[in-house]
Amino acid sequence: MSGVLELLAEHPVLLLFLVVGLGAAVGHVTVKGVGLGAAAVLFLALVVGGVGKAQGVELTVPPAFGTLGLTLFTFTVGVVSGAEFFASLRKSLRLIASMMGVLCAGALVAVGLGTVLDLSPATVAGTFAGAVTNTPALAAARDAAGDQTAPTVGYAVAYVFGVVGMLVVAMLVLRGRSADTDAPPPLVERAVRVETATGQSLRELTELFGGQISFARLRSGSEDAPPRAAGTEDVLVKDDVVTVVGPEGLVNKITTMLGHTSSHHLARDTRYLAMRRVTVSNPRVAGRTLRELDLQHQYEASVTRLRRGDVDAVAHEDQVLQLGDRIRVIAPRGVMDKVTELFGDSARGFSDINPVALGVGMSLGVLLGLVVLPIPGQHVTIGAAAGTLVVGLVLGRIGRVGPVVTTMPFTAAQTLSELGLLVFLAQAGLVAGGQIAPAFASGEWIRIAALGAAVTTVVALGLWSVMRRLFKVGGTSLSGMLAGTQTQPAVLAFANHRTGFDSRVALGYALVYPAAMITKIVLGGVLGSLA
């Protein structure tokens, strides 16, 4: 055994990928349909690190590997969530403020119960950081307390339940996801016979329904006339037949508003129009809106639906295209090949990691993480993870700067995200595993564990209660918020695994992560300053 451990200690890359591979294999094992997924890598790393320490062998991977993995993970989560994040940010400020309030409640519990348990303020500060699994908060606590040992012991003891406890709550939350009311409704397509001319253009009608519907085909005149692609400037007149795409409830509303469901199926008339699903792989198109491409005037064509990852959505004029998007194009048969060529329609659109945006974005994120927050008496930074997430969100929202595309395909981003996550979990677990044995040598460990469990439970159940009762957040989105509030990639990996990478999980995570990271760093410093 000692020979194997020494071999692994001498070759950290071998150690890293051995833990990743074996941990991922364990994560694929399910009991009654429940498995740990990527989180199993973290727990295996904790065991390996602890065994090595017990045998007198330091089994660690250089911290740079963990930083690289974590920043890859947070940056790619930001890139794929950026557009939706900023669209929902304004209406989510109360939600974010409530999350911060829950974390503050957890800190108050730490101080109060820590006093009852007769733990030193430095130990309490480190225990809080471990209970909310936040290493930057531990660093802030140690600096503020002027003590490197006590906070680290508290952190190591509380960390394991901080992960396990939040995983359990996430699992319970996801059991009710079938009843989510915020699930994106399936799209339907319906031909509508116009009986009441509103005098509004199709653009105005689309805006009236919040951009959640689109118009695909339009037939004017006699019933023998071939349909054409509906244009945003078209104005419907009596007896027109128009194809509407959108959620069933909204399609029902506009059907009643305009007239009635038509028995004519315009999609079956292929004399003039063709429909094709096209992959966006041309960098000159990526990062631009459909309005900028002006397909109607150039090709008499339109885009009615967009599929990003596993989610179908109605396409609208202000939709920013990303490499790897699958779009449904309607165009005259004679120009369909030209439209297809414009978008590229190559499998390369799924796999292009966009190294320019990746390199520049990661660099800016790391630099942002080094910026010192203006907190009197403390030297606090948000760290590379939060920095890269913020930059990723911004780049995902912008889409393009001049000729440079700032996003990357969903599939490529998801691959990089998973790789980065596995590397980070392995490195972080090995480090924490090596700290657990000395921490348990302390006679205080039972009291520390009790305090950590209490803080984790208060944060998890408090967030669950507030988000469900006050904001009616569905279980799928809430699982991402739990992971983001805990700033814990293992919980996010578990939620993604259970939901099949539902986009609401990543959006919930990205929505609260930056504020949670900053809040916990500040609270860690405040608790440490009480020493």
Domain of 330, CATH number, reads 3.30.70.1450
Examine residue 293 and state whether it is found in any structural domain, yes or no: yes
Q: Same domain, yes or no, for 332 and 193?
A: yes
The total number of structural domains that make up the chain:
2
Q: Of 327, 351, 375, which residue is a domain's last?
A: 351
Which residue, 300, 331, 351, sits at the end of a domain? 351
Query: Exposed e or buried b for every residue in 254-283, given b needs 16+ CB within 10 A?
Result: bbeebbeebebebeeeeebbbeeebbbbbb
Q: Which domain, by its residues, includes 517? A: 61-179+358-529
Q: Of 351, 376, 402, which residue is a domain's last?
A: 351
| Cβ atoms 76, 396 nearer than 8 A | no
pLDDT at 283: 81
pTM of the model: 0.71
Q: Collapse the DSSP code of 365 into the 3-class scheme (helix H, G, I; strand E, B; otherwise coil) and give the result.
A: helix
Answer for the pair 171, 499: CB distance below 8 angstroms, yes or no: no
Task: Give the pLDDT score at 33.
Answer: 57
- Same structural domain, 242 and 376: no
pLDDT of residue 220: 86
206 and 304 fall within a common domain: yes
Q: Mapping DSSP to helix (H, G, I), strand (E, B) and coil, where does residue 525 land?
A: helix
Distance CA 479, CA 172 (A): 9
Per-residue model confidence (pLDDT) at position 70: 82
36 lies in some domain: no
What angle is formed at CA 318 by the lines to CA 315 and CA 322, rounded to 5 degrees? Answer: 70
What does the alpha-carbon distance between residue 265 and residue 263 come to, in Å, rounded to a whole number? Answer: 6
Residue 377 is predicted with a pLDDT of 62
Q: Could you list the mean pLDDT of each consecutive 10-residue stretch along the chain, which spans 531 residues? A: 80 90 82 65 82 82 87 85 76 89 96 93 91 80 74 81 90 84 80 87 89 88 82 88 90 91 82 87 84 87 83 81 86 89 80 86 90 68 79 87 84 86 83 72 83 96 93 91 88 84 82 83 84 69
Residue 147 covered by a domain: yes
Per-residue model confidence (pLDDT) at position 462: 95
